[in-house]
């Protein structure tokens, strides 16, 4: 992963650094204060079992397939099938079209043959086949974000998210610098899993860090996310000591992170960070990202996990509040 890392480090201070992103969403109301526009970068060192943006995990561009957009191989004259050099696309079984127009045979992908060359995405007129992201630069993203400027006047701003935006450090740093120069409020949504020096360097340009604490037990953290929690906790302490503002997010997932003793340890840790913690968001697990796994041909592993009930979430919220923390649900 992150194969561009070496070349990126050569341009660490390039004002117009290259980046790889998978989305820019305007009118975001859950990514920090006010109305915001969020930039989503590709690539993450964590692989959380509950990740609701699987397309963000790998730095490489991958093939996504949104079958509902496929109008059938007959209408397209097998455009994607012809475009694939690997013979990975074929005609699916005939099925009734949703609009009642008769039977259609959509495309189906044999992921074991697919090499992610993305040739088929150019052939697909409906964009049922698409690349999970694109190459960009600080200049391009800055220009796009400038269009949303009017929305930021009432306490909103820009959020740089991922994936893990700190993994594309030259891009993230220079974008934050450029926006800060215009006086824009900037949130950085981070896993906390990046070298401390990078946090130190970017701190002057970030108004608020959106910071996940996923589990206080490092062995469980590794089992659920692929990495231990040491660096994440260390960086949270580092940022708090340096005077950064933190909005901590704790996702409550039945059977994984909902044990009371574990949640109490998380609350204690948040409280130990003192005034740096402006808000703790206690978030119930949800399944909204599940269908995105199908689009990538991946298996979603938490199929039997249901969201926690409202009563339990209220109890968790009260428990966090009992540590003197400013908290809210969602
Ligand atoms: S990404 Fe390339 S290999 Fe994969 S299905 Fe499309 S054309 Fe074939
Ligand atoms: S995936 Fe795209 S190109 Fe292939 S049959 Fe469907 S709509 Fe046509």
pLDDT, averaged in runs of 10, over the chain (330 residues): 42 81 93 94 97 96 97 96 98 89 94 98 98 97 93 88 96 97 96 98 98 97 98 98 98 96 98 98 93 96 94 97 95
Query: Is the beta carbon of 196 within 6 A of some atom in ligand 2?
Result: no
Give Dmax over CA atoms of the chain in angstroms. Answer: 65
For residue 152, the model assigns a pLDDT of 80
Please indicate, yes or no, whether residues 126 and 163 belong to a single structural domain of this protein. no
Please indicate, yes or no, whether residues 228 and 288 belong to a single structural domain of this protein. yes
How many independent structural domains does the chain possess?
A: 2
Atom of ligand 2 nearest to the CA of 129: 1
Please indicate, yes or no, whether residues 18 and 157 belong to a single structural domain of this protein. yes
Please indicate, yes or no, whether residues 54 and 103 belong to a single structural domain of this protein. no
Question: Which domain-ending residue is among 80, 101, 131?
Answer: 131
Tens digits of per-residue pLDDT, 61-74?
999 999 999 999 99
Q: Is residue 6 part of a domain?
A: no
Tens digits of per-residue pLDDT, 100-122?
888 999 999 999 999 999 999 99
DSSP state string for 63-118: EEE-GGG---TTTTTTHHHHH-TT--EEE---EE-TTSS-EE--EEE-TTT-----
CA-CA distance, 24 to 21, in Å (whole number)?
Answer: 8
Q: Is residue 309 part of a domain?
A: yes
Token pair recorded at residue 252: 């409550």
Please indicate, yes or no, whether residues 304 and 291 belong to a single structural domain of this protein. yes
Between the CA of 181 and the centroid of ligand 2 the distance, in Å, is 45
Token pair recorded at residue 234: 């260390």
Between the CA of 163 and the centroid of ligand 2 the distance, in Å, is 28
For residue 4, the model assigns a pLDDT of 43
Angle at alpha carbon of residue 203, lines to 185 and 148, rounded to 5°: 20
Q: Is residue 157 part of a domain?
A: yes
Please indicate, yes or no, whether residues 49 and 69 belong to a single structural domain of this protein. no
Structural domain that includes position 102: 63-131
Do residues 134 and 20 lie in contact, with contact meaning Cβ atoms separated by under 8 Å? yes
Question: Which domain-ending residue is among 110, 131, 152?
Answer: 131
Query: Is the beta carbon of 88 within 6 A of some atom in ligand 2?
Result: no
For residue 12, the model assigns a pLDDT of 47
Phi and psi at residue 245, to the nearest 5°: -100, 130
Please indicate, yes or no, whether residues 160 and 240 belong to a single structural domain of this protein. yes
Q: Which of 289, 271, 206 is nearest to 245 (CA)?
A: 206
Please indicate, yes or no, whether residues 125 and 175 belong to a single structural domain of this protein. no
Query: Is the beta carbon of 128 within 6 A of some atom in ligand 2?
Result: yes
Do residues 42 and 52 lie in contact, with contact meaning Cβ atoms separated by under 8 Å? no
CATH number at residue 237: 3.20.20.70
Please indicate, yes or no, whether residues 182 and 50 belong to a single structural domain of this protein. yes
Pocket test for ligand 1, best of 115, 124, 132 (most atoms within 8 A of CB): 115
For residue 120, the model assigns a pLDDT of 98
For residue 85, the model assigns a pLDDT of 98
Please indicate, yes or no, whether residues 67 and 45 belong to a single structural domain of this protein. no
Between the CA of 70 and the centroid of ligand 2 the distance, in Å, is 5
Question: Which domain-ending residue is among 106, 131, 156?
Answer: 131
Around ligand 1, the residues with Cβ closer than 6 Å are 63, 83-84, 86, 88-89, 109, 114-120
Please indicate, yes or no, whether residues 31 and 162 belong to a single structural domain of this protein. yes
Q: Is residue 5 part of a domain?
A: no
Please indicate, yes or no, whether residues 251 and 226 belong to a single structural domain of this protein. yes
């Amino acid at each position: 992963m992150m194969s561009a890392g070496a070349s990126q480090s050569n341009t660490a201070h390039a004002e117009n650094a290259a980046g790889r992103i998978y989305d820019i969403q305007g009118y975001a109301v859950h990514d920090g204060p006010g109305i915001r526009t969020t930039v989503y970068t590709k690539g993450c060192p964590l692989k959380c079992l509950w990740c609701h943006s699987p397309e963000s995990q790998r730095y490489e561009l991958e093939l996504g397939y949104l079958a509902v957009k496929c109008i059938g191989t007959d209408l397209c004259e097998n455009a994607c099938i012809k475009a694939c050099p690997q013979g990975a696309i074929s005609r699916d079984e005939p099925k009734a079209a949703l609009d009642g127009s008769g039977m259609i045979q959509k495309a189906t992908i044999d992921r074991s043959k697919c090499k992610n060359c993305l040739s088929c995405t150019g052939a697909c007129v409906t964009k049922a086949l698409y690349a999970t992201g694109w190459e960009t630069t600080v200049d391009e993203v800055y220009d796009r974000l400038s269009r949303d400027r009017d929305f930021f006047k009432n306490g909103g701003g820009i959020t740089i998210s991922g994936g893990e935006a700190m993994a594309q450090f030259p891009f993230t740093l220079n974008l934050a610098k450029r926006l800060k120069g215009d006086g824009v409020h900037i949130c950085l949504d981070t896993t906390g899993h990046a070298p401390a020096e990078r946090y130190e360097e970017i701190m002057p340009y970030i108004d608020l860090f959106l910071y996940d604490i996923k589990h206080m037990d490092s062995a469980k953290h590794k089992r659920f996310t692929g990495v231990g929690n040491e660096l994440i906790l260390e960086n949270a302490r580092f940022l708090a000591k340096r005077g950064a503002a933190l909005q901590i997010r704790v996702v409550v997932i039945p059977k994984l992170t909902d044990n009371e003793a574990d949640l109490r340890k998380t609350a204690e840790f948040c409280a130990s960070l003192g005034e740096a913690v402006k808000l703790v968001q206690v978030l119930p697990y949800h399944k909204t990202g599940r269908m995105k796994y199908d689009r990538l041909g991946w298996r979603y592993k938490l199929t039997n996990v249901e969201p926690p009930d409202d009563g339990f979430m209220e109890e968790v919220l009260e428990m966090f509040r009992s540590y003197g923390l400013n908290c809210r649900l969602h």
